Amino acid sequence: MQVYPDAEQLARAVAAQLAGRIAGAVKASGSASLVLTGGGIGTQILAELARGPVSGEIDWPRCEIWWGDERFVPAGDPERNDTGARAALLDHVGVDPARVHPMPASDGPDGDDPEAAADRYAAQLRAAVRPGDPGALPAFDVVLLGIGPEGHVASLFPELPAVYETKRSVVPVWGSPKPPPTRLSLTFPAIQAAREVWILASGAEKADAVALALTGSDPAWVPACGARGSQQTVFFLDEAAASELPADLSPGS
């Protein structure tokens, strides 16, 4: 767990560490795979990554870019996570367009069929498995995930069917409590195949969810409890998001 005074310092610190982690992965294996998130702090981190000196550390053409979830709306819609990520980061760095893998849109090749769109993205994931990956899913180098006030990550919301999925890597999500109601999301098996999962939280409205996620709970009730990397899981918080942590988990304890 890392805690910073405010959202600005949190975003700068995560961007710097992410640049180093991606650069290290490229040096070690010739490529890096990164799963992006949306939300306020997630997009702020991407903007810091684009404009800061840390961006120069990254060999962007060797990076594979994925998403943890997406609103199932038309391409280019401002609600889509990939729209925000392109504006904040991807349009400003030398990423190879062929290595950018947005989740399908509702006006994409599958039309307004989220089941088919989820299957399409799952097939892309299977095709992206690298020789060093231990299983049938990509071992992403880093998965970035925001956490919601009720503990959701990606579009895995408490008690919705997606949190119980154990076989599929990508699922449609209907009835999201946050609009829009129809989404696509990675599942726990896909997230847990990652080498590292970084959970990001800023603001006092996230404090209760952060405390539950760090003290342990049923992932069906607090999905962030199921978001764990195979090698490392790190919570990056600002002081407001860390304000409800128990004494034994508080910074400096």
Residue 248 pLDDT level (bands cut at 50, 70, 90): confident
pLDDT above 60 (res 253): no
Q: Is residue 248 part of a domain?
A: no
Is 244 a domain residue? no
Domain count, the chain: 1
CATH code of the domain in which 56 resides = 3.40.50.1360
Provide the mean pLDDT of the chain: 94
pLDDT for the residue 251: 61
- On whether the CB atoms of residues 222 and 230 are closer than 8 A, the answer is no
Does residue 247 surpass a pLDDT of 80?
A: no
Residue 73: burial class (beta carbons within 10 Å; 0-12, 13-18, 19+): middle
**Residue-number span of the structural domain to which 24 is assigned:** 2-216+223-229
Residues 150-167, mean pLDDT to the nearest whole number: 96
Digit-coded pLDDT (tens) for 25-75: 999 999 999 999 999 999 999 999 998 777 788 999 999 999 999 999 999
The answer to the question of residue 236 being in a domain is no
Per-residue pLDDT of 168-186, as tens digits, reads 999 999 999 999 999 999 9
Is residue 246 included in any domain, yes or no? Answer: no
Q: Decide if 253 is inside a domain.
A: no
What's the rounded Cα separation, in Å, for the pair 164 and 158? Answer: 10
Using 50, 70 and 90 to split pLDDT, how confident is the model at 215?
confident
- Using CA atoms, how far residue 10 sits from 42, 199, 238, in Å, is 10, 12, 6
Question: Is 247 part of a structural domain of the chain?
Answer: no
151 in a structural domain:
yes
Residues 58 and 92 sit within 8 Å (Cβ to Cβ): no
Within a domain: 114: yes
Q: Is the peptide bond before 177 cis (omega within 30 degrees of 0)?
A: no
More confident: 26 or 253: 26
Q: Are 98 and 88 in contact (CB under 8 A)?
A: no
Report pLDDT digits (tens) over 194-203: 999 999 999 9
Decide if pLDDT at 252 tops 60.
Answer: no
pLDDT at 93 over 90: yes
pLDDT at residue 250 in the model: 61
Whether pLDDT at 100 is above 90: yes
- H-helix or E-strand containing 9? helix 7-29
pLDDT of residue 1 exceeding 60: yes
